[in-house]
Amino acid sequence: MHTPVPEYLQEVLDGLSGHVDGAVADYIPELAAADPDRFGIALMTTSGRIHAAGDADAEFSIQSVSKPFIYAAAIMDRGLPRVLRSVGVEPSGEAFDELSLEQGSHRPRNPMINAGAITAHQLLVGEGATSAQRTDRARAFLSVLADRELRIDEAVMQSELETADRNLALAHLLRNYGIFSTSAHEAVAGYTAQCSIMVTARDLAVMGACLANDGVQPHTGNRVVPSDVARQTLSVMAAAGMYDAAGTWFSEVGIPAKSGVSGGMLGVLPGQLGIGLFSPRLDEHGNSARGVEAFRRLSSDMNLHLMTAG
Ligand code: GLN
């Protein structure tokens, strides 16, 4: 690449500014009010260089992009064998809010779909932890990854809780099968608080760079995720981060990624980069429509596909 990175990133955004396909999520009233034209991107290398363009500092609720990080925290708090007893690692090939569990074990298939993420949140801290402790663990851990104090947006959280029937149904089902014993309302409230943590595209790039850098925060040099946990998290993200589009995504773009309904996207290239993006209009899979296109361009222009030799 010959263009300097910031100009190149601006070019990617400009090239897609006329791309207005998709629609903002409206099942959470507060998200329906988002400015659909926001578009920001940031990259952080594992050596700590950060490049940003567009609305890279606009805040939005992290939503499902929190899922890989909270899965990592659950493994750190409880150990992988305990986490695997409650949440699987197979791609579901289904939508993020699908009401389906593995045959026999009744585990959610993976921690990237809501059923698995609600369960991962319940595993935080330890047996007998309070709801407040789990929520605080989630917020504090994401803050360490982002290297700044993040906050929960109460309006987004309340708005989602008012329309959370589907997640409540999932939590009731999980509780019915003994996957956790917390009340469904408490479990969904904790998970929803986690989803309502406010971040920017720049934060996501920093958080992603931490996973890309084997769990070491590139800014501070502090190890915040053990190496084996970073690997486990990225593996599950590669297999299931883009829900029912995961296979197409990985073959075409080749970057382990996670999307969220507010339009956030996280990409992680091990040993190289964390990528954060924000563009609220979603495609039919619930992934940021322009985000998917921007990642396609980055992957092809910068030769980022993980399955490319050399
Ligand atoms: N909080 C949202 C939900 O549970 C997160 C979903 C998402 O970002 N895909 O419905």
- 127 Cβ contact partners less than 8 Å away, ≥ 6 residues apart: none
pLDDT band at 53 (very low <50, low <70, confident <90, very high): very high
- The three-class DSSP label of residue 87 is coil
- Give the other-Cβ count within 10 Å of 3's Cβ: 11
- Give the other-Cβ count within 10 Å of 68's Cβ: 29
For residue 274, give both structure tokens. 């964390």
Residue at which a domain ends, from 195, 213, 232: 195
The predicted-structure confidence for 153-198, as pLDDT tens digits, reads as follows 999 999 999 999 999 999 999 999 999 999 999 999 999 999 999 9
Put residue 127 in one of left, alpha, beta given phi > 0 → left and psi -120 to 50 → alpha.
beta
Nearest ligand 1 atom to the CA of 117 is 4
Q: Is residue 179 part of a domain?
A: yes
Q: Output the domain CATH number for residue 77.
A: 3.40.710.10
Domain that holds residue 166: 65-195
pLDDT at position 310 over 70: no
207 lines ligand 1 (CB under 6 A): no
First and final CA of the chain: distance in angstroms? 16
Predicted local confidence at residue 244, as pLDDT: 79
The predicted-structure confidence for 236-264, as pLDDT tens digits, reads as follows 999 988 877 888 899 999 999 999 999 99
Q: State the distance from the centre of ligand 1 to the C-alpha of 4, rounded, in angstroms.
A: 35
* 181 and 97 share one domain: yes
Q: Is residue 307 part of a domain?
A: no
The residues that bridge with 164 in the sheet, in sequence order, are: none
Domain count of the fold of the chain: 2
Do residues 45 and 273 touch, judged by C-beta distance below 8 A? yes
* 17 and 43 share one domain: yes
Q: Find the mean pLDDT for residues 12-23.
A: 93
Residue at which a domain ends, from 165, 195, 225: 195
Predicted local confidence at residue 247, as pLDDT: 86
Q: What are phi and psi of 50, to 5 degrees?
A: -125, 135
* 69 and 191 share one domain: yes
* 145 and 186 share one domain: yes
Q: How far apart are CA 96 and CA 289, in angstroms?
A: 16
Q: How far apart are CA 281 and CA 261, in angstroms?
A: 9
Q: What percent of the chain has pLDDT over 90?
A: 83
Q: State the distance from the centre of ligand 1 to the C-alpha of 261, rounded, in angstroms.
A: 6
Predicted local confidence at residue 242, as pLDDT: 82
* 182 and 130 share one domain: yes
Strand order in the sheet with 264-269: 50-54, 40-45, 273-278, 264-269, 257-259
ipTM exceeds 0.90, yes or no? yes
* 34 and 78 share one domain: no
- Give the other-Cβ count within 10 Å of 177's Cβ: 13
